[in-house]
Chains A and B, each alone.
Chain A
């Protein structure tokens, strides 16, 4: 089973989809606020660039720039994949 079809996908699983659209950022703490202010707003297109080895941080591209996030932060960003991966 592709996990993208079961639970709501998060940015941490973006490597499987490549490109996705942001649904929303979970929570209302500083971390969530800052992610929104960095451009993770609903509908924004985000694409996977790379991940550091051994579960290190990921790099994603959105709004014309590249951002490095740890997996923990990336898990808070819910995404929907664009198009069908089948």
Chain B
């Protein structure tokens, strides 16, 4: 059994960067049993053997007020089903010791071997601060090491010191166990060792004058949003096209090379295209997380939360909830994972419950298809066209609905005393790129595990439903009639027909219902299902004109699959319905109960149905 050390520190102390510098990719992320707090363990090579480092959630004190702080405290006290750690490594930002040193006193009172790591030593010097480290160590009694985490300075020395916590010197003096005494103790200590006080960061002051300005700050905030969206939609596009092209080519190659038959079709259409449907989102989600971690570590996210807090406050949420909602515009799976930074369980739940209203990228193919098929490309004003405005309208409808429903939940279902809102505005810092890369990789792995397995199973299941039971096709049928025949006799058709009482009032026929059933697994499956249902082998350029296929008279039924009214109704249905099993699974994981994902699925379906029905009535 190797030694176990706990890494503890307040938010913004540089703890995560230090953990990543010490452990790199050799860290495992999981959940603590019964709670949804990240449990991160990493192996550290000390030169004299390996030790296990436990990265505890950031906390300002051992008097926990949120779930993740409570976990940190329980791990330290050995109440999480494991023995207490063999030693505690406390991380403190050298520039904010006046605030963080009192927590050290709290930790020392636990009586376990403790080592203090001072981070941001370079920034301390740059801002004119200087401590008598020798005297500091003497007065504290315990080992104190200075590091610069993002440049790796002092890390080797620290590794060596982690080998044997039992040899760490014990504290010289401890204050009375109350908050005021701890602050007095820290103030007294710092007074003795401080040679020069730290100056306020001039760069931070100058940047805040612009970024937090009532008018300019808003402008910068909207520019930030624009860059954010531009990045996740445009910059990720080439990589996404490459992934999509590769999986398509691979599937075609399989169809071409392997003997024709059901197994080949399953491999190509079910498995390869199914996995491809997930992989195609990987570049976008990686970029999304990279941007979030970058802006978080740089200090801007806290400022953005400050700027939007007034609006979020109206909805009963706080500034930090906005980050999760913003992420959900790429994909609600990472968005819901990002709610972990929200301290209040009620705010967190309210954010989770509305996050899927944000227009995720899986809706974009569906929106683009329906808009191009049914809305004329008329110029309205300048560069704006009716199609573009329709798309923007759908995005805004999603965002506004999310805020409105959050307000509704916080005033009803999730009413109650809220946690105090406080948010540290750390100095602006240039983040460690290596540390960000490590964090992005960890999140991607969770995404691939959660979404990957569900979409793979979903697309195999869908393929089976669309192709079975296999029936004899009369010889005189054209290929189009043969395909229609297989579909009409499939299990999918049975499901589509059985859904007619529910969806007929919204203007959908049983074939559209098949697409809807498929998109309950994942929204983007709607497009590929419609392509399979409505494109016939003798159509020629089938994929280029899926939009036209939806508005033309179907050669088999003689009617168009969708009209303007039913297309509008379908768009509204997609704005509101929770058509995503991955989201369902991640909500189950993050709330630890089936109750919330089931509730979400139900209320969103109800809203979607009513909204789509009303839209259909307006346009018909």
Contacts and interface: CB of A to CB of B under 8 A. Distances in A.
A63 B98 CA distance: 5
19 contacts: A30-B419, A34-B63, A41-B183, A41-B184, A54-B310, A55-B310, A56-B306, A56-B310, A63-B98, A63-B99, A64-B97, A64-B198, A68-B309, A68-B423, A68-B424, A68-B425, A69-B420, A69-B422, A70-B309
B212 A50 contact: yes
Given A36-B179, A39-B98, A39-B183, A67 B309 contact: no
A30 to B, nearest CB: 5
B150 interface: no
Contacts of B200: 61
A65 B65 contact: no
Given A33-B65, A37-B179, A59-B212, A66 B310 contact: no
Interface in A46-62: 49-50, 52-57, 59, 61
Contact of B423 (A31, A39, A56, A67): A67
A35 interface: yes
B99 A65 contact: yes
The 9 A-B pairs of least Cβ separation, nearest first, read A31-B420, A63-B98, A37-B61, A56-B310, A66-B425, A68-B423, A53-B214, A30-B65, A63-B99
Interface of A: 30-31, 33-39, 41-42, 44, 49-50, 52-57, 59, 61, 63-70, 73
Contacts of A69: 420-422
B307 A52 contact: yes
Given A63-B96, A63-B99, A64-B95, A73 B60 contact: no
A35 B310 contact: no
A24 B103 CA distance: 20
Nearest to A44: B183
Contacts of B103: 37
B408 interface: no
A38 B306 CA distance: 18
Contacts of A64: 95-99, 198
Contacts of A59: 212, 306, 425
B276 interface: no
Interface in B412-456: 419-426
A69 B419 CA distance: 12
Q: Is the interface of B mostly helix, strand, loop or mixed?
A: helix
B102 interface: yes
A34 B425 contact: no
B302 interface: yes
A42 B214 CA distance: 32
A60 B426 CA distance: 12
Interface residues of B, number: 36
A38 B184 CA distance: 13
Contacts of B241: none
Nearest to B95: A64
Nearest to A41: B183
A14 to B, nearest CB: 15
Nearest to A69: B422
Given A34-B420, A37-B102, 9 more contacts: A35-B422, A42-B180, A49-B208, A64-B95, A65-B424, A68-B422, A69-B421, A70-B421, A73-B421
B111 to A, nearest CB: 20
Interface string B74-114: 00000000000000000000011111001100000000000
A69 B421 CA distance: 6
Contacts of A65: 95-96, 98-99, 424-426
B422 A67 contact: yes
Given A41-B179, A64-B98, A68-B306, A34 B426 contact: no
Contact of A73 (B63, B97, B422, B426): B422
